[in-house]
Structure 1
Amino acid sequence: MISGSIVALVTPMNADGGVDWAALERLLELHIEAGTGAIGAVGTTGESATLSVPEHCEVIKFCVDSVAGRIPIMAGTGANATREAIELTRAAADAGADCCLLVTPYYNRPTQRGLYAHFRAVADAVDVPQILYNVPGRTAVDMDNEVVAELATHRNIVGIKDATGDRERGRDLIARCGDEIAVYSGDDPTAMDLMLAGGKGNISVTANVAPRQMAQLCALATAGDREGASAINELLTPLNSALFLEANPIPVKWAMAQQGLIGEGIRLPLIVLDEQYHADVRAALEAAGV
């Protein structure tokens, strides 16, 4: 089972929007050295919405080959069309990804039964471990915990990323199906509480800029060390907020550029962080010691 800090990795880009493969390789090495538990490739933070299908698959294959089994690769393969989600999931499995992360279908707003049918179809079609991903703030669809519990009985569904930020709801998820699947946080501000309640880790935006600190926080929280985890969480709290001053991944890519980790490349319709937020993000980085 994957546990701990799972970085929701950015996809570094050149000024023209092309993937910066050299920077991507450096980021992978940085996370391995920093103690990150797994790489989350081509999710929301990785700009999956603006990568073409061939690029999407190429980034996943690059991550698998570069990491070479040293830590797991969690490949983002969700789509709002079930056939496309199956295609991406199959490609990730063929590339050697350890598991796939599937977001709820965005924009078309399926019913709860439609969500069940969608995820069941992907799980039936591709024999690879799959993690559900509920992020209603981005998708305009919210999957009920009851549906998650039904899906948890499928042998290929092994986890859920809960990015609702609702602590009570997260605890209910763990109570309902925490013995069958892993429950991961997808919300940095509330991740510590979910892990202390039995969550297995955090699929984290903040880990991009503070990988060591997030790895330590997750290790302490999943071990039940509230005092130790809280001390690190307090340092990261301003950063968790600053990285969402504009839509993710705008702030985190700008912050990483300030750290010298990547260039400022980002794809339209997203653009570089507005200057009015620069001081706030810099201050949060300094407060976190990064």
Structure 2
Amino acid sequence: MASALGCCSLKATHRGGTPKWRSPRAAVIPNFHLPMRSYEVKNRTNVDDIKSLRLITAIKTPYLPDGRFDLEAYDALVNMQIEDGVEGVIVGGTTGEGQLMSWDEHIMLIGHTVNCFGGSIKVIGNTGSNSTREAIHATEQGFAVGMHAALHINPYYGKTSLDGLISHFDSVLPMGPTIIYNVPSRTGQDIPQGVVQNIAKSPNFAGVKECVGNDRIEEYTRNGLVVWSGNDDQCHDSRWFHGATGVISVASNLVPGLMRELMFGGTNSSLNSKLLPLIDWLFQEPNPIGLNTALAQLGVVRPIFRLPYVPLPLAKRVEFVNIVKELGRENFVGEKDVQVLEDDDFILIGRY
């Protein structure tokens, strides 16, 4: 009888000897942070170590012909970032196509990056979601495999209220250092300053990746908040004229050394002007289409796209080769000659 009832309490009985069922205490979970989410276990990285990062690459995820991750190419690309002075990587962000990953793939790649490179570079896992439940679970797992910080976007598509935004971020901030990502062009909803100022009270709030522009960045930095520009074309002015700590960059996948110079070397309008044609080219179509095409033509990754992304058309691929020659092949990642790939060179994968 006891085995059939499992965890039910049988201590109280009626006079006739029939056990009186009582709700097990374990069924009531108090409202406290579970050990997996505690400050002691998860806040291993000091939030100030994240706040000080000036150049963070939103790293590309390469693929094999069957659609799995090409970890050999990925490792080589991350190594190139480290060698050229990048201080952190965003794993599984928009650029890394986290939106096309299962959560198993997502957490595996974060853990792999920590295991291989965590001693040399800060690993920031994109564990954000439009579902608070998923964001909590992914962030728990991300910190459990050792990521140094989390990147969190506001809930997209099924948008919520301002109070809902605060509650969403409050659900994940206790787990460890956190960067909030504001990109209304993708989410359809701006994160207002009032929301940021509210959640900035958390000791784990590292700062904001801001894509709205330099006026917004300056409003935050005047009030002592850490901000990274999310726009490569604005990051020079963000850093040197509007108080941004640095940039979370797509272009640094390609030219990490030049982007480091832009973020560390003081005002340099000449270098910024030289980089703008490359940056403009990268974003003629939604990111990461341009980056994927560029890295394939540099021979750094295989020319494989997970749909719905497809390569830039031939004329744009020719244009990229000319940009590389203008900037100098030695400033780009990889060692192979840049080439114009033909349409038939690309593999498009719909099931992965």
Q: What's the TM-score once normalised by structure 2's chain length?
A: 0.76
Question: Matches of 1:160 and 1:77 in 2, distance apart?
Answer: 15
Question: Matches of 1:287 and 1:110 in 2, distance apart?
Answer: 46
Q: Per-residue displacement from partner, 1:25-76 (whole Å, max 9, x unpaired)? A: 1111111111111111110000011100000001101111110311111111
Aligned to 1:216: 261
Alignment equivalent of 1:77, drawn from 127, 135, 138: 127
Aligned to 2:247: 202
Higher relative contact order, chain-length normalized (CA < 8 Å, sep 6+): 1
- Following superposition, the deviation at residue 243 of structure 1 comes to 0.5
- Following superposition, the deviation at residue 282 of structure 1 comes to 2.6
Aligned to 1:151: 199
For the 8 Å contact 1:78–1:101, the answer to whether it is kept is yes
Question: Matches of 1:202 and 1:77 in 2, distance apart?
Answer: 19
Q: Which runs of 5 or more structure 2 residues have no equivalent in the other structure?
A: 1-48, 333-352
Alignment equivalent of 1:253, drawn from 288, 292, 307: 292
- Calculate percent identity across the aligned residue pairs: 34
- Following superposition, the deviation at residue 218 of structure 1 comes to 0.9
Question: Matches of 1:163 and 1:263 in 2, distance apart?
Answer: 30
For the 8 Å contact 2:55–2:246, the answer to whether it is kept is yes
Structure ID, larger Rg: 2
Question: Matches of 2:220 and 2:121 in 1, distance apart?
Answer: 26
Secondary structure of 1:266's partner? strand
Aligned to 1:161: 209
Residues 164-203 of structure 1 aligned to structure 2 (within 5 Å)? 164=212, 166-178=213-225, 182-196=226-240, 197-203=242-248
Residues 1-290 of structure 1 aligned to structure 2 (within 5 Å)? 1-2=49-50, 3-124=53-174, 126=175, 128-164=176-212, 166-178=213-225, 182-196=226-240, 197-220=242-265, 225-226=266-267, 229-289=268-328, 290=332
Aligned amino acid, residue 252 of structure 2: A
For the 8 Å contact 1:28–1:66, the answer to whether it is kept is no
Aligned amino acid, residue 211 of structure 2: A
Question: Residues 280, 112 of structure 1: CA spacing in aligned structure 2 closer, same or farther, 3 A cutoff?
Answer: farther
Secondary structure of 2:236's partner? helix
- Following superposition, the deviation at residue 259 of structure 1 comes to 1.1
- Following superposition, the deviation at residue 279 of structure 1 comes to 2.5
Q: Which runs of 5 or more structure 1 residues have no equivalent in the other structure?
A: none
For the 8 Å contact 1:60–1:95, the answer to whether it is kept is yes
Question: Matches of 2:305 and 2:110 in 1, distance apart?
Answer: 18
**Bigger helix fraction:** 1
Aligned amino acid, residue 163 of structure 1: C
For the 8 Å contact 1:184–1:199, the answer to whether it is kept is yes
Q: Per-residue displacement from partner, 1:78-134 (whole Å, max 9, x unpaired)? A: 11101111111111111111111111111112222221111111113x2x1000000
Measured on the aligned residues, the alpha-carbon RMSD in Å equals 1.3
- Following superposition, the deviation at residue 15 of structure 1 comes to 2.6
Question: Matches of 2:149 and 2:289 in 1, distance apart?
Answer: 26
Question: Residues 285, 112 of structure 1: CA spacing in aligned structure 2 closer, same or farther, 3 A cutoff?
Answer: farther
- Following superposition, the deviation at residue 285 of structure 1 comes to 2.9
Aligned amino acid, residue 187 of structure 2: T
Question: Matches of 1:134 and 1:57 in 2, distance apart?
Answer: 22
Aligned amino acid, residue 278 of structure 1: R
Question: Matches of 1:134 and 1:288 in 2, distance apart?
Answer: 31
Secondary structure of 2:234's partner? helix
For the 8 Å contact 2:217–2:243, the answer to whether it is kept is no
Aligned amino acid, residue 258 of structure 1: Q
Question: Matches of 1:280 and 1:88 in 2, distance apart?
Answer: 39
Question: Matches of 1:282 and 1:191 in 2, distance apart?
Answer: 24
For the 8 Å contact 1:188–1:240, the answer to whether it is kept is yes
**Count of aligned pairs between the two proteins:** 278
